[in-house]
Structure 1
Amino acid sequence: MSANVLVAFDGSPLSERALAYAIETFPDAPITAIYIINPIDSVIDVEAGGLPVAKDWYENAKEEATRIHTTATDLTAERNTELDTVTEVEKPAQAILEYADDQDIDQIVMGSHGRSGIDRALLGSVAETVIRRARIPVTIIS
């Protein structure tokens, strides 16, 4: 039986490399790309743009998730691979770990850090947390 592989995918170049690595390393495995909507982003948006931004925050986040899933699906289609996608709303490390446990994932693949700017600072610790707490192998792409 093939390993079930979970790839943390946020649309960043490192997440694209992580997805490519998963496809090449586990060619027969079911692969799922997980995108996490981080609720802390709503606080940042409120501080930056006020209440009207906060009202639309979740809808905008879901639209962004759809765009990112489309990117991941397109990348896997180019390599003749099927991909499942999932979106979770949670702190990123917690969402990855819970999903892996709940779905009997055998391997996690993720970039060493996420997007640039403030997201990079916030997401850089996600990889470290996942490595420390995962009960399964974690591959970090840098």
Structure 2
Amino acid sequence: MYQDVLIPTDGSDGTRRSINHGVTIASRFDATIHALSVVPEGPLGTLQTDEAIPAAERAVERVETEATREGVDTVTAVERGVPHEEILAYADDHGIDMIVMGTQGRTGLDRVLVGSVTERVVRMADVPVVTVRLTDELRIEDADEAARIARRTAENEGYERVSVREDPHRTSASWIVPLETDTGPVHVHVDAVTSEARVADRTRTD
């Protein structure tokens, strides 16, 4: 029924919900995820800083990571232009069957802008648009707490001599905690909203 599902993303904390919904739908129908981030442009060029393109690339990479973890094929793209126009054009050009996107962005003005983009896409798209409210609040904002959860998770999975290798860092709504263990370094991802954790990267030293 659905072969290609488009997830527009701005990389903000709240987009985890729309990513989860999109990946779940794609997994259910054995569809391909298309992750798209649009860097807004106006008459004078890019409306954001020089970090806009790298940030957009990280945003689509996050979708790809989540989709790959669930065994879902992924295509990523970064475009420049008017967000709703680029989303609609991408959907037409790539035969998208469904669009999954959030109703809000980060905070303040971004919330208004992203909500406006979603409204335009819903009104103008020729395919179904699933909208997801992005209202989750972060529960884990402290790096030390994220490290404690990560260590406990690794120990529960059978790792020994577990210690924090580097300071934890947060990307979107997840903490990434680098650990050293008896079998080598591993990364543990801790969901900052649900507190769920998993060993995501098993880099062996042998």
> TM-score of the superposition, structure 2-length normalised?
0.57
* Matching of residue 19 in structure 1 with residue 24 in structure 2: no
Residue 66 (structure 1) aligns with: 57
Q: Counterpart of 1:113 in structure 2: which amino acid?
A: Q
The alpha carbon displacement at 1:74 in A equals 2.2
* Matching of residue 82 in structure 1 with residue 73 in structure 2: yes
Equivalents in 2 of 1:110, 1:116: separation in Å? 16
Equivalents in 1 of 2:84, 2:12: separation in Å? 17
Cα RMSD, aligned residues only:
1.9
Q: Deviations over 1:73-127 (max 9, x none)?
A: 2222332323211011111111111110111111000001222222222121111
Equivalents in 2 of 1:14, 1:139: separation in Å? 15
Larger radius of gyration: 2
Question: What is the correspondence of 1:91-102 to structure 2 with a 5 Å cutoff?
Answer: 91-102=82-93
Equivalents in 1 of 2:13, 2:70: separation in Å? 17
The higher relative CO (CA closer than 8 Å, separation ≥ 6) is in: 1
Equivalents in 2 of 1:13, 1:24: separation in Å? 19
Question: What is the correspondence of 1:126-137 to structure 2 with a 5 Å cutoff?
Answer: 126-137=117-128
Equivalents in 1 of 2:61, 2:23: separation in Å? 16
The answer (yes or no) to whether the contact 1:113–1:126 under 8 Å persists in 2 is no
Q: Counterpart of 1:39 in structure 2: which amino acid?
A: E
* Matching of residue 139 in structure 1 with residue 127 in structure 2: no
The alpha carbon displacement at 1:17 in A equals 1.2
- Higher strand residue share: 2
* Matching of residue 6 in structure 1 with residue 6 in structure 2: yes
Runs ≥4 in structure 1, deviation > 6 angstroms? Answer: none
> TM-score of the superposition, structure 1-length normalised?
0.80
Equivalents in 1 of 2:114, 2:22: separation in Å? 20
Residue 114 (structure 1) aligns with: 105
The alpha carbon displacement at 1:2 in A equals 4.3
Question: How many matched pairs?
Answer: 129
